[in-house]
Amino acid sequence: MAEVEAAVTFRVEYADVDAQGRVYYGNYTRYFDRARFAFWAACGLGPEEIRRVEDETVLAEVETRYHAPAGFYDELRAVARLTAAGRSSLHFAYRVMRQADGLLLVEGRTVLVYIDPASGRSRPLPTSLRDRLPSVPVPPPVPSRLA
């Protein structure tokens, strides 16, 4: 499968902004999720399959870089792209832009790990999922920076 980049467009809700009228920083992770759900759909997964994948993965890493604020009722576009897939890990890159002018507001990345829900331990990505993913490199091994 060729590279897949998926996007979703939506308006900032009033509940998403803080007292300064800006999107609260933690909400961008939710926007990353929205874009990732669009990615799964672009790979051909249906709602039940998306739910299963999301239920059987845990967020192991998240990194966010903020460039500019968004406010109430701004129309945003969140984009997700799979950048690497390991034995049990999925590495995503994200961008969130303001739709009106294309201004990059936030970029980030996440690492999801596929787990056995009963034990909570990592397990290999199912072949049925791996076969639907675009071709991406295996992530390089990195020592934990959380010592």
Q: How many CB atoms lie within 10 A of CB 85?
A: 20
Question: Which one, of 103, 86, 110, 132, lies nearest residue 32 by Cα?
Answer: 110
| Residue 142 binned pLDDT confidence (cut-offs 50, 70, 90) | low
Q: How many CB atoms lie within 10 A of CB 21?
A: 11
pLDDT in tens, 4-29: 899 999 999 999 999 999 999 999 99
Domains along the chain with CATH numbers: 5-130 (3.10.129.10)
pLDDT in tens, 68-92: 999 999 999 999 999 999 999 999 9
Q: Residue type for 25, please?
A: Y
pLDDT in tens, 38-74: 999 999 999 999 999 999 999 999 999 999 999 999 9
Largest distance between two CA atoms of the chain: 47
pLDDT in tens, 96-122: 999 999 999 999 999 999 999 999 999
Q: How many CB atoms lie within 10 A of CB 44?
A: 10
**pLDDT of res. 139:** 86
Residue of 145 and 129 predicted with greater confidence: 129
Residue 3 has pLDDT above 80, yes or no: no
